[in-house]
């Protein structure tokens, strides 16, 4: 069971029961799934390498590299990476409350400012953490912010456009979604990485308090013009302090935009808890956060379930691997902690009871069987033998990948954003060299053709400046 990465195509079925489709993209499908051994539900992002041209398949690892690096309470957790010949599977934490876009659409005129600042502070906190690790997201938008109702927080997801950057060095890749992209990205200029995320934060805050994007016109050409002119209107119900913070982020000149430190210290955000998730036990980002007794119980359960032996489990945890061993450990540990929290410290939860039963049996394999078979845990805490939900069909509507989404409760003319620019997420070399030539991998949704784009860029470039 050790070393799921590089396994055959069929092996995913033995590790996870794939259920209905949650979202689709050009190269990826996101499935609801159940981890066979623990019964915990996860999201599985399935990336079809056969649909990617040239070097694009290798560049998908950039998303994985960044997600492994940014382990934060307000970032969707990556549990496991399964790399096969034809597909790459990312096993992700499952959001239970839909995405922020749908939430905004259910509140005509935007959210009340106290609620909006509660969510916005968490997004800023997560991006600040990413930037400190020199990771830029480059596709910040409400569709990529997910609600976790059980944990009471929001989290960033979809790091498909993310990349590493070196402070002071400019990036060149044009990527992201039109309505949320900074002017310098749309112009194809070199750009300061943190500044483009800050522009997108300004768009998100505007949407939270106004209920619609600041730059979304009847067609892409008009939207581009509004962005380049930095022309938007703040409704009168928005407070002066909130409007001031928006204006500090939506600055045409990236050098004039507020820094993350200035955003976090702004008057409008004072008195707000920036990350309530940081005081929660879940999700686990390190095995060292469980007690020695809990650690031992988890090890016993995994060994008895033929996941791996003690030394192999310990080695995988210490090396911070993202294989089925560590995924099983963390999902099992989180289930234990969740039950512990729900019972307010009561120790006789399912996991404890089952572990004690395991230790008392002479033939331990009778309790668990192999991890490739139906596991001992089901979603509601039942033992093996309980019925499993059959795989379902696709849910209706176009939805972004990576999260469990809900259909909007109200009709709206505002549509979810899809990336309007080329995806040219270069995979950096080990020495973190600057990004190079464009990739063959693209995400397109803009109705603006190339001739229109070139004409628009020529009209908006400063005098005397030639095209690159």
Question: What is the dihedral angle through the alpha carbons of 368, 373, 377, 380, rounded to the nearest 10 degrees?
Answer: -150
Give the strand pairing for 135-136 and 163-164: antiparallel
Q: What is the pLDDT of residue 183?
A: 95
Q: Please, are residues 42 and 16 in contact by the beta-carbon 8 Å criterion?
A: yes
134-143 residue pLDDT tens: 999 999 999 9
Tokens of 295: 């650690």
Tokens of 368: 């668990």
Task: Write out the binding residues.
Answer: 45
Question: Helix, strand or coil for residue 164?
Answer: strand
Q: Please, are residues 69 and 135 in contact by the beta-carbon 8 Å criterion?
A: yes
Q: Looking at the whole model, is its pTM more than 0.75?
A: no
DSSP for 89-103, written as a single string: EEEEPPPSS-BHHHH
24-35 residue pLDDT tens: 877 789 999 999
- What whole-number distance in Å separates Cα of residue 137 and Cα of residue 130? 8
Q: What is the pLDDT of residue 403?
A: 30
Which of 453, 447, 440 shows the shortest CA–CA distance to 26?
A: 440
Q: How far is CA 323 from CA 79, 118, 130, 410, in A?
A: 8, 34, 23, 41
Type and span of the H or E element at 398? none
Length of the chain: 468
Instruction: Judge residue 106's burial from the number of C-beta atoms within 10 Å of its C-beta, 0-12 exposed, 13-18 middle, 19 or more buried.
Output: middle
CATH architecture type of domain 100-277+410-460: Orthogonal Bundle (1.10)
On average, the pLDDT of the chain sits at 75
Q: Please, are residues 278 and 73 in contact by the beta-carbon 8 Å criterion?
A: yes
Q: Rounded to the nearest 5 degrees, what angle is found at the Cα of 151, between the Cα atoms of 148 and 157?
A: 35
Q: What is the pLDDT of residue 458?
A: 58
Tokens of 195: 């500044």
Q: What is the pLDDT of residue 219?
A: 87
424-451 residue pLDDT tens: 333 333 333 344 333 332 333 333 344 5
Low-confidence ranges of the chain (pLDDT < 70): 1-11, 13, 53-59, 277-285, 341-415, 417-468
Give the strand pairing for 153-156 and 163-164: unpaired
Residue tagged active-site, from 102, 139, 158, 192: 139
Phi-psi region of 325 (alpha: psi -120 to 50; beta: other; left: phi over 0): alpha
Q: What is the pLDDT of residue 455?
A: 57
**Quick count: other Cβ atoms within 10 Å of Cβ 179?**
23
Task: Write out the binding residues for ATP.
Answer: 45
- What whole-number distance in Å separates Cα of residue 122 and Cα of residue 101? 16
Chain position carrying tokens 């509507």: 397
Partnered with residue 156 across adjacent β-strands are 75, 145
Instruction: Judge residue 161's burial from the number of C-beta atoms within 10 Å of its C-beta, 0-12 exposed, 13-18 middle, 19 or more buried.
Output: buried
In degrees rounded to 5, what are phi and psi of residue 156?
A: -80, 145
- What whole-number distance in Å separates Cα of residue 425 and Cα of residue 423? 6
Known catalytic residue at 139: yes
Type and span of the H or E element at 204? helix 193-210
Q: What is the pLDDT of residue 427?
A: 34
Tokens of 179: 């309505």
Chain position carrying tokens 């061993």: 325
Q: In what order do the strands lie in the sheet with 16-24?
A: 16-24, 28-35, 41-48, 87-92, 78-83
Q: What is the pLDDT of residue 52?
A: 73
Q: What is the pLDDT of residue 218?
A: 79
Q: Rounded to the nearest 5 degrees, what angle is found at the Cα of 319, between the Cα atoms of 317 and 322?
A: 70
């Amino acid at each position: 069971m050790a070393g799921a990465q590089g396994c055959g195509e069929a092996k995913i079925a033995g590790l996870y029961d794939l259920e209905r489709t949650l979202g689709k993209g050009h190269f990826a499908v996101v499935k609801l799934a159940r981890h066979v051994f623990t019964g915990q539900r996860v999201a599985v992002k399935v990336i079809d390498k056969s649909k990617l041209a040239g070097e694009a398949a290798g560049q998908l690892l950039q998303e994985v590299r960044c997600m492994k690096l940014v382990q934060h309470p307000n970032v969707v957790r990556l549990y496991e990476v399964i790399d096969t010949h034809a597909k790459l599977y990312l096993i992700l934490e499952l959001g239970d409350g839909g995405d922020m876009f749908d939430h905004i659409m259910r509140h005509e005129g935007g959210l009340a400012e106290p609620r909006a600042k509660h969510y916005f502070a968490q997004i800023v906190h997560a991006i600040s953490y990413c930037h400190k690790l020199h990771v830029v997201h480059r596709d910040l938008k409400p569709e990529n912010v997910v609600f976790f109702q059980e944990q009471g927080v929001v989290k960033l997801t979809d790091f498909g456009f993310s990349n590493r950057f070196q402070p002071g060095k400019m990036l060149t890749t044009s990527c992201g979604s039109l309505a949320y992209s900074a002017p310098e990205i749309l112009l194809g200029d070199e750009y300061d990485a943190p500044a483009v995320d800050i522009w997108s934060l300004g768009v998100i805050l505007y949407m939270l308090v106004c209920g619609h994007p600041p730059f979304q016109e009847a067609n892409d050409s008009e939207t581009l013009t509004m962005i380049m002119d930095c022309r938007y209107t703040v409704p009168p119900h928005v407070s002066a302090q909130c409007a001031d913070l928006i204006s500090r982020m939506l600055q045409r000149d990236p050098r004039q935009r507020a820094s993350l430190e200035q955003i976090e210290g702004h008057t409008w955000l004072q008195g707000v808890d920036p990350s309530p998730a940081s005081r929660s036990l879940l999700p686990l980002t390190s095995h060292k956060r469980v007690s020695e007794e809990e650690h031992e119980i988890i090890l016993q359960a995994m060994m008895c379930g033929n996941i791996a032996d003690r030394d192999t489990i310990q080695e995988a945890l210490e090396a911070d691997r993202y294989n089925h061993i560590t995924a099983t450990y963390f999902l099992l540990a989180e289930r234990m902690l969740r039950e512990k929290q729900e019972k307010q410290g009561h120790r006789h939860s399912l996991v404890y009871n089952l572990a004690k039963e395991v230790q008392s049996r002479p033939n331990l394999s009778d309790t668990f069987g192999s991890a490739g078979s139906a596991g001992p845990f089901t979603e509601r805490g039942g033992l093996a033998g309980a019925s499993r939900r059959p795989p379902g069909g696709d849910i209706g509507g176009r939805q972004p990948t990576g999260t469990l989404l809900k259909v909007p409760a109200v009709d709206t003319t505002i549509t979810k954003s899809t990336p309007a620019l080329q995806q040219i997420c270069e995979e950096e070399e080990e020495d973190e060299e600057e990004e190079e030539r464009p990739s063959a991998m693209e995400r397109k949704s803009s109705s603006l053709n190339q001739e229109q784009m070139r004409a628009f860029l020529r009209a908006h470039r400063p005098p005397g400046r030639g095209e690159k």
